[in-house]
Amino acid sequence: MQDQNFTQPVFNALPPAVVALALAIFGVEMLLWLGARGIIGGPQAVGWRLEAIQEFSFFSPVLAWVFETGNWSFEHLKRFVTYPFIHGGFTHAAFVIVFLLALGKLVGEVFGNLAVIVLFFACGIFGALIYAGLVGDDRPLIGGFPSVYGLIGAYTFLLWVRFKSTGENEYQAFTLIGFLLGIQLFFGIFFNVGFDWVAEVAGFIFGFVLTPALVPGAFRRFMDRIRQR
């Protein structure tokens, strides 16, 4: 009878950066969720989510005000990197975490932990900028989907390269984002869901464009090419 190794984990280990980001989102959401139900924090905790949205979400008018006044203080700029950790509710945060774990694992195993961190925050920042520039909505931008869509962009780039190298139809790589945009379009037509999808699409595009620069050795090859000139 052949020996079986029962010490192998059921799930492959996730990259530490992905775990850290997922735990941060989960921790914030649980704090707000428990507070809203009066389990922690006392009566005033019921309003923690609203206070968090006011303090840490991204507001387009705030960015316009920053440009007008030149007040580039941390109090305002922090919103670019804090809004992905604030969500409208447990379900919202849960979907973000699921996508983060799935796509973060695929991207992190290829490019490493630093690339996951760079993609998450850079795509979130870019998504917020495009949201402010194109939409200018007074409603706050919250949630990690613009950042997660950046990881989808990176994953799409990987598929695109693989399909192209094997002679397959490279446009198959865009099946996932096409499906997600189809869902967005459906809800946009029949429900008033706002314009968060603008930030999400922007995050996807930036993730797709940024990924080649995160390929291991890309910076060294770029510097070698500069020196040759």
> Per-residue pLDDT tens for 5-14?
545 454 458 9
Confidence of residue 229 (pLDDT cuts 50, 70, 90): low
- 9 located within any domain: no
- 4 located within any domain: no
Q: What gap in Å lies between CA 185 and CA 193, rounded to an integer?
A: 10
In CATH, what number is assigned to the domain containing residue 51?
A: 1.20.1540.10
Q: Give the per-residue pLDDT at 215.
A: 81
Confidence of residue 148 (pLDDT cuts 50, 70, 90): very high
Confidence of residue 218 (pLDDT cuts 50, 70, 90): low
Could you give the dihedral angle defined by the CA atoms of residues 109, 148, 210 and 156, in that order, rounded to the nearest 10 degrees? Answer: 70
Least confident of 62-66, 95-99, 136-140, 217-221: 217-221
Q: Give the per-residue pLDDT at 21.
A: 97
Q: What is the pTM of this model?
A: 0.87
- 5 located within any domain: no
Which residue range forms the structural domain that includes residue 196?
16-228
| 64 contact partners, CB below 8 Å, separation of at least 6 | 132, 136
Q: Give the per-residue pLDDT at 47.
A: 92
Least confident of 46-60, 87-101, 146-160, 161-175: 161-175
- Residue 65 confidence (pLDDT) above 60: yes
Q: Please list, residue by residue across 145-179, b when 16 or more beta carbons sit within 10 angstroms of its beta carbon and e when fewer do.
A: bbbbbbbbbbbbbbbbeeeeeeeeeeeebeeebee
More confident residue, 26 or 216: 26
- 160 located within any domain: yes
Q: Give the per-residue pLDDT at 228.
A: 56
Confidence of residue 221 (pLDDT cuts 50, 70, 90): low
Percent of the chain with pLDDT strictly greater than 90: 56
| Domain count within the chain | 1
- 6 located within any domain: no
More confident residue, 94 or 217: 94
- 207 located within any domain: yes
- 8 located within any domain: no
- Residue 120 confidence (pLDDT) above 90: yes
Percent of the chain with pLDDT strictly greater than 70: 85
CB 114 within 8 A of CB 198: no
